[in-house]
Amino acid sequence: MNILKKITCFIVGIFLSISQVYAAAVQEIIVWHGLGGELGKHYQTLVDNFNQQLKDKDIKFSIKPENKGRYEDVLTTYEQTPAEQRPDIVQVYEMGTRVMLETKEQGGLLYVPLPTVMAQANLPFNDDTIIPQIREFYRAGNPQLSSLPFNASTVVLYYNKTALDKAGLTPLETFEEFAAQMAKLQSEKQPVGLGAGWLSGHHIDQIGARQNKRIATFGNGVDSPEAQLDFDPFFSNHLTALKEWYEKGWFSLDQGPAVEQAFADGKIVYLSQGGNRHSDISKLVDKKFEIGVVAFPYWQSMGGVYNTIAGGGSFWISNKPQTPERLQIIAQFLQFLASAEVQAQWQRLTGYIPVTEGAQALNEKSGYFDAKDLGVQAAKIAYESFTAANPAEFSRGILLPNFPKIRDIEIDQMTRAIKGEIAIEKAMSTIQEQGNKLLSKQ
């Protein structure tokens, strides 16, 4: 080996040694989350930006995200893991909020409240900067937020614009318009019908919020873990309409990917689905027709329209021993995620609703919403319908233990009632009775 190669190897060895020493010195803050696919990549982009800021300041810490599968899997794994082996931060979906708040173990709660950590880190955090439609849900009747809301999506209504244009129709605003529109589309030999990406989520949860109707006591469970199901008669009336439309071939009982495919195949003209599903829907349609998007409809005869509600998740700080230095970085990272600039970027990357006041204004000022593509317009409609009104008693969301299992009961009973296999009143009473049995076991 000549002298030049020896010198080169020596220098490379020095750099490798330095990088290994640096890597060994860096402490990792572990974050468990349920953001898969493209969402996970977009989240990693934000994390990389934060880690670069730490590196630029020669701070020997880094955030390390770890995807733990579906939202429900993240929470289950977290609960089953010994406290000392848990991550530093965990993302929990909105349906797990009550579990996090109420579950106690030998070491206390499953989490350390957000205000406690921010105060220990001597960092200002005013949760009034979180938009009220998000803040009032995650406060769960408490004076302050216990976790940091991060990602939020809500329902919108996609429609086959080509079909509506051929029939000379404008998209639905209210459900009172539905029957006349379907008759007109049929006469023009255009696609007819409405499908829901999630039957109970859209035709109980979302329509209930849109009309501010009671699903459960104590403000749909937001104000107390002692809530019980107690459906307003409105839901029987709404289910009656769905049954009538199903009998005429105007309502599809397909859900999830199946109903998205039905929309793409021209079997239905309207599809209610999350605003963040625009990319998948566009790929399925594959330019066979033009897609439009508007807010999820409401019944005008039932009074003023309220906001839709959001699904998503928040970040909780694990209840485990931490050094002051690690708590400082945890607090800085959460403060970073809550900033208007980062939330505005998150909206641009994903179409999620920004949870921080000011983020929407930043994107409006930048001209982001001037673009006509479906993703941008879906993000705009989602934010507008989600913030259509200040949260009322029953439009803040639904916060019940065992809610995923209750939703399974709802879908089963709603499907049978819409098909005419059981009476609508029987379906609603069964949901209430079986759901309350689940709640009483908590």
CATH number at residue 345: 3.40.190.10
CB 381 within 8 A of CB 372: no
Model pLDDT, residue 19: 43
Cβ neighbours of residue 249 closer than 8 Å, sequence gap 6 or more: 192, 193
Check whether residue 250 and residue 347 sit in a common domain. Answer: no
Check whether residue 319 and residue 418 sit in a common domain. Answer: no
Could you tell me whether strands 89-93 and 310-318 are parallel, antiparallel, or unpaired per DSSP bridges?
antiparallel
Q: How far is Cα 270 from Cα 258, in angstroms, rounded to an integer?
A: 14
Structural domain contains residue 53: yes
Quick one: how far is CA 379 from the chain centroid?
13
Ramachandran area for residue 72 (φ above 0: left; ψ -120 to 50: alpha; else beta): alpha
Check whether residue 296 and residue 220 sit in a common domain. Answer: yes
Name the DSSP letter for residue 356.
Answer: B
Q: What's the domain range around 185?
A: 154-309+380-440
Per DSSP, the three-state class of 145 is coil
Structural domain contains residue 6: no
Ramachandran area for residue 409 (φ above 0: left; ψ -120 to 50: alpha; else beta): alpha
Model pLDDT, residue 107: 76
Check whether residue 30 and residue 62 sit in a common domain. Answer: yes
How many distinct structural domains can be found in the chain?
A: 2
Model pLDDT, residue 106: 83
Task: Using 50 as the pLDDT threshold, list the residues of the chain that sit under it.
Answer: 7, 11-12, 14-23
Check whether residue 331 and residue 343 sit in a common domain. Answer: yes
Both structure tokens of 197: 């990406």
Per DSSP, the three-state class of 74 is helix
Q: Which residue has the tokens 């501010």?
A: 212
Model pLDDT, residue 156: 97
Ramachandran area for residue 312 (φ above 0: left; ψ -120 to 50: alpha; else beta): left
Q: How far is Cα 50 from Cα 43, in angstroms, rounded to an integer?
A: 11
Q: How far is Cα 289 from Cα 61, in angstroms, rounded to an integer?
A: 50
Model pLDDT, residue 5: 57
Model pLDDT, residue 14: 44
Instruction: Express each pLDDT in 16-38 by its tens digit.
Output: 444 444 445 899 999 999 999 88
Name the DSSP letter for residue 352.
Answer: P
Name the DSSP letter for residue 384.
Answer: H
Structural domain contains residue 395: yes
Check whether residue 364 and residue 399 sit in a common domain. Answer: no
Strand partners, 318: 111
Structural domain contains residue 284: yes
Q: How far is Cα 78 from Cα 91, in angstroms, rounded to an integer?
A: 10
Q: How far is Cα 221 from Cα 228, in angstroms, rounded to an integer?
A: 8
Domain end (from 368, 402, 417) = 368
Compute the radius of gyration of the chain from its Cα atoms.
24
Model pLDDT, residue 6: 54
Ramachandran area for residue 256 (φ above 0: left; ψ -120 to 50: alpha; else beta): left
Model pLDDT, residue 154: 96
Model pLDDT, residue 24: 56
Structural domain contains residue 10: no
Check whether residue 227 and residue 284 sit in a common domain. Answer: yes
Check whether residue 81 and residue 210 sit in a common domain. Answer: no
Per DSSP, the three-state class of 316 is strand
